[in-house]
Amino acid sequence: MAAEGRPLKKVRDSDEKVAAARGHPEIFEAFRKANARKFRGFLAPEYNIRCIEAAVNEPFEEGLKTERRLFTEVLTGPQSAAQRYAFFAERQANKIPDVPDDTPLIPINSVGILGAGTMGGGIAMNFANAGIPVTIVEVKQEALDRGLGVVRGNYERTASRGGITAIDVETRMGLITGSLDLEAFKDVDLVIEAVFERMDIKKDVFTRLDAICKPGAILATNTSALNIDEIASVTRRPEAVIGLHFFSPANVMKLLEIVRADHTSKSVIATCMRLARKIGKIAVLVGVTPGFVGNRILGQRQREAQKLMFEGAMPWDIDRVLYDFGFPMGPFAMSDLAGLDIGWVKENSKGETIRDVLCELDRRGQKTGAGYYDYDENRVARPSPVTEQVIKDFVAKSGTNPRPISDEEILERCVYPMINEGAKILEEGKAIRASDIDVVWENGYGWPVYRGGPMFYGDQIGLPKVLEKMKEFHGQMGDAFKPSTLLEKLVAEGKRFQDL
């Protein structure tokens, strides 16, 4: 073209690809709307849209400037830092300081699952999906049939949406065998127990598993909160006992807390960490402590959410603040979804808590069309005047004066104690590193990735600020807010969790 002296065509002078969109902002609005859920809270997708709007509407040079300005802003902003951190945190979690890479692994070619309830079925699907045969043992045929039916239903739903083929459904179901006889576990390499959450039952089951399973088989429990050392103590192989804490729904949720008990061997830990990757989970090694890492920290948020309700905030105020922060839903919406009657027994209910009263009114959550919220036929939530009255009556009875509570206080009361609890967990050595706690919260509890996790968020807003507020709350409301020694120490040394 140069030899022929033909004019060079510059792409910048051509607008054929964008001209049609000029003067049609509705194209962009429709795209924003269609993706609102996916993009919620994230700056980068919105800025991308703005860059394309600039390409359409502005002259070339101006468009470039807009692009550079927006790009620099997100690149140097907190969301980018948080997401880069999250990326590396997830990889870091695989490294266990005292479990070297060359730790011998135990081959896992078959898995036994005890209990085909909510968790057992979902856990079984993970292994069948990875081509590992699973045997599920139940106490009653009826429970077994129900459990296997749910698994099949899940697969068939995925197939109907095109996620897997009809042949996949049969292949995977073919890898799952049901039985009522614990002896079916005698040759499996790993058993995961997912029976009722009661220590006496767990102990009974582990005594029997220990007698039946072959030497070298790993015995895992999916307990949410029970002491795994105590469970291990009834076996003659505490080195083979470990916690594999799946999250519900177990076939969907990415997080797996792997719980190391006092005697768990390094081979068992290394094997479970590797196996987690094989079944597509993000594993974090934690120690034995009530609720482990995730639920222990959640307990802080739950307690404050409940207390705030007695001080004058309505459930929808608290939920809104946490939703706007970036959580998929607030604690009260979550309760409604899960069902307020989990653990509630009608015969024993004496209207002693707000939950008792709501359940007594048959407001047991989304499934009954009402819980903390009222729900319409599409399960869209509305603040409920009934709930509001129940709360007001409780508050009046307790003799406290409700006060206006700011959004800022709601957020600080719910989130700062979580950061503080994370610091206590680190202090006690129940998590290896601060970033592991963040991996737990991002992948198990919907902490927004653009805020990095509770510990990273603490670093980002500044630990001195967190400490100062904790001290203030401690003075006003007592020991639930007692700052952790580690938090005090870090602030005194001008350090962050990331510097540990």
Residues that bind ligand NAD (CB under 6 A): 114-120, 137-139, 143, 194-197, 201, 205, 222-224, 246-248
> Which residue in 15, 62, 52 sits closest to 32, CA to CA?
52
Angle at 119 between CA 418 and CA 315, to 5 degrees: 40
Contact 430, 286 (CB under 8 A): yes
Closest approach of Cβ 468 to ligand NAD, in Å? Answer: 36
Which lies closer to ligand NAD via its Cβ, residue 197 or residue 374?
A: 197
Which lies closer to ligand NAD via its Cβ, residue 67 or residue 138?
A: 138
Which lies closer to ligand NAD via its Cβ, residue 250 or residue 490?
A: 250
Closest approach of Cβ 146 to ligand NAD, in Å? Answer: 8
Closest approach of Cβ 457 to ligand NAD, in Å? Answer: 25
Pairing of strands 176-179, 190-193: unpaired
Closest approach of Cβ 490 to ligand NAD, in Å? Answer: 32
Residue sitting closest to ligand NAD (CB): 117
Q: Cα separations (Å) of 214 from 29, 63, 69?
A: 62, 68, 64
Which lies closer to ligand NAD via its Cβ, residue 222 or residue 387?
A: 222
Which lies closer to ligand NAD via its Cβ, residue 235 or residue 420?
A: 235
Closest approach of Cβ 108 to ligand NAD, in Å? Answer: 20
Which lies closer to ligand NAD via its Cβ, residue 205 or residue 268?
A: 205
Which lies closer to ligand NAD via its Cβ, residue 113 or residue 354?
A: 113
Closest approach of Cβ 252 to ligand NAD, in Å? Answer: 12
Sign of CA dihedral 108, 114, 119, 121: positive
Can you say how many angstroms the Cα of residue 244 is from the centroid of all Cα atoms in its chain?
15
Closest approach of Cβ 195 to ligand NAD, in Å? Answer: 4
Closest approach of Cβ 487 to ligand NAD, in Å? Answer: 29
Pairing of strands 381-383, 373-375: antiparallel
Q: Which two tokens stand for residue 27?
A: 């194209």
Which lies closer to ligand NAD via its Cβ, residue 51 or residue 228?
A: 228
> Which residue in 203, 262, 263 sits closest to 231, CA to CA?
203
